[in-house]
Amino acid sequence: MVAATLTLGIAAPASAANLLMCKVSNAGASRGRISDKIVIAYEEGKKNVLVFDRVISNYGSESAVGKVETDNAKRTTFVWEVKVTDSKRQHATMQYRLTFLKKNHGLRLTVNPLGYRGDVTGKGICTPTVS
């Protein structure tokens, strides 16, 4: 299903109608929980999305299935989960919430390790493309 490698170095399907190519400016402070580049493939009016980033690929998947949680004139919020295993073989589910601000193309990202303390946040900018 992967058809193209984007300029961000992340593979995404060629069939997606819309892509958000996002750069997270403070990913380095996240202790590996946030990738510096995230691609979201989605279609207008559909709830399901595909998310591609290095965190997902580091844990053995090509992509994660997510959903559109909010979509209005000001913002679109996407949510998805990634199952991870740390160096001590402990398993956790990381819940991601990325809000794309339509006016200035900014992004706000929150990562919540379910069942654990220690949310991390990211910020940056997304470039939308429509095919």
pLDDT digits 0-9 by tens, 74-101: 999 999 999 988 778 888 899 999 999 9
> What backbone phi and psi angles, to 5 degrees, belong to 56?
-60, -50
Q: Percentage of the chain with pLDDT > 70?
A: 86
How far apart CA 63 and CA 102 sit, in angstroms, is 24
Q: What is the DSSP letter of 31?
A: T
Annotated domain spans of the chain: 19-129
Q: Which pTM value belongs to this model?
A: 0.84
Per DSSP, the chain holds a count of helices (H) and strands (E) of: 1, 10
